[in-house]
Amino acid sequence: MAESLINSIARLRVIEKRLLTKEAVSRLAAAKDNEECLKILSESGYGAKADPDDPDRAEAMIRAELGEAYAVTEELMPKRFAPVLGVFRMRHDITNVKLLYKLRLLGADLDKAELGFGGIYDGEKLKAAVKKGDYSILPKPIAAALEELDVETYHVKDPQAVSAKLDGAYLNYAMGFKNPFVHKYFSALADFTDLIAILRGIPDERLLPAGEYSAAELKRFREALADSKEKAAGLLKDPLETSEVKERIRAAFGEYLKSGAIAPIEKARDEYLIGLASENRSDIDSPAPIVGYLLAREREAEVVRLITTAKRSGIPASVTEERSMALYG
């Protein structure tokens, strides 16, 4: 880990130039097939350290890039901010724990589970923890949520309840950090996620703990939405109130009203969250720029995976480009 945040951020300014540009992503989406897509990626230097003989070349390239991003951000982050980087990477651990817990409910063999990477916990240790019901390696709020699930799912096995409980526990854990950037990020994440959840018909009891929108405000929004989308839009922000995230959410909901698609809200969420790091771009005592770089690399990987999967599936380039640019544009 680095000693000087100033030096780390200076080095980061050079490294972040390797991110794929919008033009490069557009070329990928317009490629005629998967082979041409892989060629464009190679020419751009993406996944240069991946095994060229890997049967799933695209995924190998993505994992190589993400692995390098995790290593670089860990190296650049000063020791005093290491927990901040850890809480952002922990979302991958939460995804793995949710998978393992649901497999356990189904009586499946956890040892055979293929876990995602990017988290901070060893996969085998996570498997052992869930198998034994001993969650002590995890942060207390998350361990406590799993112990509650052990009781709640004893008679009723509800996989959706597992996701809701663990997502809420993870958010509570993150919101417990005193770092203002971390708190602002996860508060906004809760607001965007809850809006999307309501639009998808997910019940109140499975929403994330409140961000800037209180549970009561979200309930009123849901009730208004049942009457009309326009009425619900009026509840998203009080005109006498100043709130950046609420303003972004209201604008995103306006795009939803035009298209009926949730993708613009997801794009607005990603842009806002990554943009939070840019606000601290010149702050010589904030970990935000390093976290922002990591988030940008993960979004880049998501778009590359979307495009290469679409090419293998024969999805038309026009559809692929529209979806990928909605995420990355």
Q: Distance between CA atoms of 102 and 310, rounded to whole angstroms?
A: 28
User: Which tokens is 33 given?
Assistant: 């097939």
Q: Given a cut of 90, is residue 301 above it in pLDDT? A: yes
Under a CB-based contact definition with an 8 Å cutoff, are residues 107 and 31 in contact? Answer: no
Residue 38, amino acid: L
What's the whole-number mean pLDDT along residues 21-31?
A: 90
List the domain boundaries for the chain. Answer: 1-78+287-329, 85-177, 180-282
User: How many helical (H) and strand (E) elements, i.e. helices and strands, does the chain have?
Assistant: 15, 0
Q: Which of 39, 2, 51 is nearest to 287 (CA)?
A: 2
Q: What is the mean pLDDT of residues 296-308?
A: 93
pLDDT at 321: 72
The yes-or-no verdict on residue 4 having pLDDT over 90 is: no
* Average pLDDT score over the chain: 90
CB contact set of 199 (below 8 Å; sequence gap of 6+): 225, 256, 262, 265
3-state secondary structure 20-75: CCHHHHHHHHHCCCHHHHHHHHHHCCCCCCCCCCCCCHHHHHHHHHHHHHHHHHHH
Are 297 and 19 a contacting pair, CB within 8 Å? yes
pLDDT number for residue 1: 67
Specify the pLDDT at position 306: 92
Most confidently modeled range among 21-35, 132-146, 231-245:
132-146
Q: What is the mean pLDDT of residues 170-198?
A: 94
Q: Return the pLDDT at 152.
A: 92
pLDDT of residue 210: 79
- In single-letter form, the type of residue at position 131 comes to K
Task: Single out the residue of 24, 50, 51, 54 nearest to residue 37, CA to CA.
Answer: 24
The secondary structure of 169-229, three-state, reads: HHHHHHHCCCCHHHHHHHHHHHHHHHHHHHHCCCCHHHCCCCCCCCHHHHHHHHHHHHHCH
Which pLDDT band, with edges at 50, 70 and 90, does 160 fall under? confident
Average pLDDT score over residue span 53-69:
94
Check residue 326 and give its pLDDT. Answer: 65
**Which residue do the tokens 């709130």 mark?**
243
pLDDT greater than 80 at residue 226? yes
For residue 281, the model assigns a pLDDT of 62
User: pLDDT at position 125, please?
Assistant: 97
**pLDDT tens digits for range 244-258:** 899 999 999 999 998
**pLDDT attached to residue 329:** 58
Tokens 């993150």, residue?
Answer: 174
pLDDT in tens, 80-109: 899 999 999 999 999 999 999 999 999 999
Confidence at residue 320, expressed as pLDDT on a 0 to 100 scale = 73
Report the CATH number of the 1-78+287-329 domain. 1.10.132.50
What pLDDT score does 128 carry? 97
* pLDDT of the residue at 230: 87
Q: What CATH architecture applies to the domain 85-177? A: Up-down Bundle (1.20)
pLDDT band for 134, please (50, 70, 90 cuts): very high
Per-residue pLDDT band for 173 (boundaries 50, 70, 90) equals very high
**How many Cβ atoms sit within 10 Å of the Cβ of residue 122?**
12
* Residue recorded with tokens 């995804």: 95
- Among 3-17, 160-174, 188-202, name the one with the lowest average pLDDT: 3-17
Q: How far apart are CA 44 and CA 61, in angstroms?
A: 12
* Residue of 15, 20, 11 lying closest to 299 (CA atoms): 20
Give the pLDDT of residue 157: 86
Mean pLDDT of 208-217: 89
Looking at the chain, the whole-number percentage of residues with pLDDT higher than 70 is 94
Per-residue pLDDT band for 318 (boundaries 50, 70, 90) equals confident
Higher-pLDDT residue of 1 and 154 is 154
